[in-house]
Structure 1
Amino acid sequence: MSLGRTSLSLPRLAAASDTARAILWMLASGLLFILLNGTLRLLAQQLDPFVTGFLRYSFGVLVMLPFILRAGWAAYRPANLSGQIWRGAIHTSGLLLWFIAVPHVPLADMTALGFTTPLFIMLGAVVFLRERMVAARWVAALIGFCGVLIVVSPNLSGGAGAYGFVMLASSPLFAASFLITKALTRRDAPHVIVVWQSLAVALFSLPFALPHWDWPTPAQWAAFAFCGVVGTAGHICLTRAFKLADMSVTQPIKFLELVWASLFGLAVWGDVPGTATWIGGLVIFASTSWIARRESRKQG
């Protein structure tokens, strides 16, 4: 009897382990993306945003090139090439809209609009990937989003006008890109997906970068190399998280990025978080901690 119980519990233990690892990979990706976005923000203030986007993904390819040459191109040949191309095209579309809007949208408004992406991802995961609509995951996501609004609401200006809708339009495109990524993990390894994402986005964004081309300085080239390393590592962590667990499990964790961003701003620019930031951060942390513990216990 005990042997039967043990054998039956093994798949549940494995699922619990996968969920815990997915959450840790998601946390790691959030930290890396904060470093990436902080550096890209500085670069986009110095160079044309389209040039910045193109070079960011071009360096993503260059970072992976030694690994490709060592393992051979066959190791990076995707099982679903059309899916990789579609993912790159959709992700590029979202990036172009985001870059068009970003000079005109206040930072607080941009933060609030950007955090609609996890909600689109969770909805798409239910509709297109046939993931179960688990009420607790939606509750955690909505509580986390409320935490974001607590942080940004004191500074919301509503002054973005039509550009606010342009930036909002990028959110479902990014969500679609990540949903395709989840589907691609069924047949392709994370490093293959990340390489083809960088290749596709670099190629699709090149025509938009060329009319605005300006050669970076040596310091800017070094910053782009840093973005290539950090961005590639972040996407690999994100893809590993998507491979290990349902997307609706991982999305509430994404709201913690606002907490990391506040701490990053304090460390780099000396921006002292206000009362709303601390309150919202506690709400976000509580929602993500609760869903992480609940998922682990439920599957353990």
Structure 2
Amino acid sequence: MNKAPSSEAGDADPSSSDSKPDPENGNSAGPNSPTGADERAGVSWTARLGQRLAALPTNTIGALWILQAAFLFTIMSTLIKLAGSDLSVFQILAVRQAVMVLIVAPRIIRGLPTSLATKRPDLQIARIIFATTAMLCGFTAIIELPLADVTALSFSKTFFLTIFAIFFLGETVGIHRWGATIVGFLGVLLMLRPEGDGFIDPFALLAIIGAACAGLVMVILRILTKTDSPTTILTYQAVFVGLIMAGPAIYTWKAPSLEEWGLLIMIGVVSWAAQMSNIKAFRAGEATAIASLDYTRLLYATIIGALVFSQWPSVETLIGAGIIIAASMYTVRREAVRGRQLARAAEGRGYNN
């Protein structure tokens, strides 16, 4: 009885000598036998799952991460809209950044000073500037516009992303991805109905500006994730955006209620999870290959807008959503086929190390 079972299956070594099969695992050999068998089975299943995920094309892995990020960002937008009914966008942003700093603080402290080390301070500064602008514009639009409308407007970042990726990443965008991007953007325009007030509303214009800045941030992320860790990238944004927002937040501060404090804390937690998912997505996959999956946020925003805010989508919104989803699925299907070549070729990443 000198074998100590592990309490954490994920930390166990599947190649350990303790992983030998038990010829009597179907019988009750003792109180510890079923538990040991379950642990060994759990480790084996986890190892097999990890191997299968690692064998996937990198663009497929990136697609899975960005789908998770899309859902979390929609939840974040919903919480911001709820909190923004009585609190300023500066206050929301300041508390959000403070919560994110607290979440990553243990990892930063354990890894000091390397956890704050960056090989591209210029890109970190650029990301902070564009991220601050994107969040101020985007959060204001979320508070003032219907959730589905501001989500649709934010999709214009795909157009900016494709252009920026060509110039700054050197990515080669083929006719298929160009076509899918353009068709998806036309779907957004259909939902906005340009002949109406879609682009006249100042808050809609803010959403477009925020989308352009978000496109730049995504391109910068694609470069930064090759040199800096996800924690370092997130820390720089969380700390410095929070410092920038501190002054305006103090000036416009209103004492939150207990419910509002709960919303503010949740905004920070969900934002951290969404940011980490987004960083991992663009670390794994090609920017122009996986960005179209962000369109799934429209589905989430439509459902939540109807259930929480009683904002039902129009016929134009539904048709536009169908166009966007079709374009997104076409891109995913094509990139899944080509992903293995892209995973092996440095030039398929859009740039050479």
Q: TM-score, normalised by structure 2?
A: 0.73
Shift of 1:218: 1.9
What amino acid is the match of 2:231?
Answer: H
1:30 counterpart residue number = 70
Higher relative contact order (CA 8 A, sep 6+): 1
Alignment of 1:124 onto 2:164: yes
Task: Provide the C-alpha distance between the structure 1 equivalents of 2:88 and 2:310, rounded to a whole number of angstroms.
Answer: 26
What amino acid is the match of 2:235?
Answer: V
Instruction: Select the structure that is richer in helix.
Output: 1
Task: Provide the C-alpha distance between the structure 2 equivalents of 1:286 and 1:101, rounded to a whole number of angstroms.
Answer: 27
Alignment of 1:255 onto 2:298: no
Give the 3-state SS of the residue equivalent to 1:141 in structure 2: helix
What amino acid is the match of 1:116?
Answer: S
Shift of 1:129: 0.8
Task: Provide the C-alpha distance between the structure 1 equivalents of 2:138 and 2:116, rounded to a whole number of angstroms.
Answer: 29
Structure 1 residue runs without a partner (length 5+):
1-12
Shift of 1:174: 2.0
Once structures 1 and 2 are overlaid, which stretch shifts more, 191-200 or 62-71? 62-71
**CA pair 293-80 structure 1, distance change in 2 beyond 3 A:** same
**Structure with max Cα Rg:** 2
How many residue pairs end up in the alignment? 288
2:108 counterpart residue number = 68
Determine if contact 1:106/1:157 at 8 Å carries over to the other structure: no
What amino acid is the match of 1:47?
Answer: L
Determine if contact 2:148/2:302 at 8 Å carries over to the other structure: no
Determine if contact 1:144/1:287 at 8 Å carries over to the other structure: yes
Task: Provide the C-alpha distance between the structure 2 equivalents of 1:277 and 1:165, rounded to a whole number of angstroms.
Answer: 19
1:42 counterpart residue number = 82
Matches within 5 A, 1:190-205: 190-205=230-245
Task: Provide the C-alpha distance between the structure 2 equivalents of 1:252 and 1:126, rounded to a whole number of angstroms.
Answer: 16
What amino acid is the match of 1:96?
Answer: L
**CA pair 251-156 structure 1, distance change in 2 beyond 3 A:** farther
Task: Provide the C-alpha distance between the structure 2 equivalents of 1:247 and 1:15, rounded to a whole number of angstroms.
Answer: 20
257, 272, 275: which is aligned to 1:217? 257
Task: Provide the C-alpha distance between the structure 2 equivalents of 1:57 and 1:110, rounded to a whole number of angstroms.
Answer: 22
Alignment of 1:157 onto 2:197: yes
2:221 counterpart residue number = 181
1:229 counterpart residue number = 269
What amino acid is the match of 1:49?
Answer: V
Measured against aligned partners, the alpha-carbon deviations of 1:65-119 in whole angstroms (never above 9, x if no partner) come to: 2333455553343333342233112211233344566666676664443221121
Alignment of 1:90 onto 2:130: yes
Determine if contact 1:126/1:133 at 8 Å carries over to the other structure: yes
Task: Provide the C-alpha distance between the structure 2 equivalents of 1:156 and 1:67, rounded to a whole number of angstroms.
Answer: 49
Q: Pairwise CA RMSD of aligned residues? A: 2.8
2:30 counterpart residue number = none
Q: TM-score, normalised by structure 1?
A: 0.84
